[in-house]
Structure 1
């Protein structure tokens, strides 16, 4: 298969050539939105980030995203140097400067900043953090269900690199994605350290079996905000939902599978390791959850 699809695939939009980007308090044209080669994020992947979506004039679940950003910054001992309110204001100012109302995606990034010398120690980052917000016109365009391949790369233990941390260090996930594409799939299905089905390289993973919705325990994956919203929607709407250990045997014989993420919301999965899941198309439970989620976002 050569026509790879991504869970972050968007319609082409010429307006993105002229977007304005927030960098350290200034909103500048794309060509001027630059950081130093001594930036610790560029040099070492030393930073944290959030992805946010704009629907009908509102950033979905904004407070939860800002909370997660500040929690992650605290975890890596990074002082953002801004309050939650000022970070939110920076997001809104960038939105206003770009004249965006809906179907926009923001990537809010914070690194430890410019280093005095090109080495690892965090004390070499003495100038304070670099903060950037890239905001693009973005309407998801995923033309068919996603195909997955199981890869040898794992989401690791918390004492190696906690997968709950939304850090700039994504090489493990990138290598997983490369392995999946070499196998002819769109994205990678990653197992946990015990061999149970965990997550993909970019999204959280769910299956549907006999009217029940299953996802991983959450111990070894990014605890996505969209993931939690789907779990909450199931509970409110009397859909049996379980955070549990399950294997590839359970997965291959599932009636449906789908991915969750801020960008694509709920993306159907058609095949895993060459096995067709259900009919290979979006199933009724995935469709129902998409409708419920759209109503939640609209609210």
Structure 2
């Protein structure tokens, strides 16, 4: 069984979901994209994922800000407005009769190519937009147990060739890092930056706790996750010191607690890194407090939309 941060409670309803492709809804087994799609050919696309709770899209504005920024960075014109995309997402949710504990992924590729090529001038269609909404609730057993990490030899890249803050379809280096961790018997991968400092994980952001301080990376070599940002804001709101700084494995192995953050799993504790135990297993006191504050923040966001 998968023990990583994306482990979800099995839900039979997902077998019959409808998936939106360029505004048209298809049953799961019939949802297909051309082999000439830019995303399939060369990983040329951007995406976002967010939660849908109690009939409300949680922190959607921040996710759309990042989607439009990513599209601008890669030179992809989005021929629709934020409002139009939100309406398409809502139609997909309504068609699936979804209301709570839903995970939505929006993928936008540059479009269909007339021939396999990296060159964007061979694109013969507008962007392809796929919306996948699934009934997905994070496994509470997985969260309470915590996960293990293994430090990969695959580094997070430098901003001058593929900025790690870009949420694009090109994720092969992160897949390679995860494979190394799995082969080492861990659940997910920890990744260092080009200078050897702790950066992030293969699909989540990383934090450690030392004394009463929370440490995370500078943010220059990792995806600037929405949940990561909220944890930093929550520390400031509640008077908990949070330092965005360079730190090494030497510092990390002496941590009192560690946890990872992501849109799907929220905060998940880390039990061991490279075979070295961190804390007593499961939620430490600081991690648990931050997790509770984050759950409260989601409730605030839902109430704000009422």
Same fold (TM over 0.5): yes
**CA shift for structure 1 position 30:** 1.1
* Uncovered stretches (5+) of structure 2, i.e. residues with no partner: 301-306
Who is 1:154 aligned against?
Answer: 155
Distance 2:292 2:248 in 1: 28
Tell me the equivalent position of 2:76: 78
Q: TM-score, normalised by structure 2?
A: 0.96
Deviation at 1:266, TM superposition (A): 0.3
How does the TM-score come out when normalised to structure 1? Answer: 0.98
Determine the C-alpha separation between the residues in 2 that align with 1:14 and 1:43.
Answer: 32
What is aligned with 2:174?
Answer: 173
| Partner residue in 2 for 1:136 | 134
TM superposition shift of 1:271: 0.3
Q: Distance in 1 between matches of 2:153 and 2:16?
A: 40
Query: Deviation string for 1:103-137 (max 9, x for gaps)?
Result: 00011000011100111101111211100000000
Q: How do 1:275-286 residues align onto structure 2 when only pairs under 5 Å count?
A: 275-286=276-287
Q: Which runs of 5+ in 1 are unaligned?
A: none
Point out 4+ residue stretches in structure 1 off by more than 3 angstroms: none
Q: Distance in 2 between matches of 1:217 and 1:9?
A: 28
Give the drift of 1:280. Answer: 2.1
- What does 1:188-203 correspond to in 2, within 5 Å? 188-203=189-204
CA offsets per residue over residues 70-128 of structure 1, 9 Å max, x none? 11001101112111110111111111111111100011000011100111101111211
**Mapping of residues 1-299 of structure 1, within 5 Å:** 4-141=2-139, 143=142, 144-299=145-300
8 Å Cα contact 1:55-1:298 kept in structure 2: no
Q: CA deviation at 1:47?
A: 0.1
Equivalenced residue count is: 297
Structure 2 SS opposite 1:259? strand
What's the CA shift for 1:4? 4.9
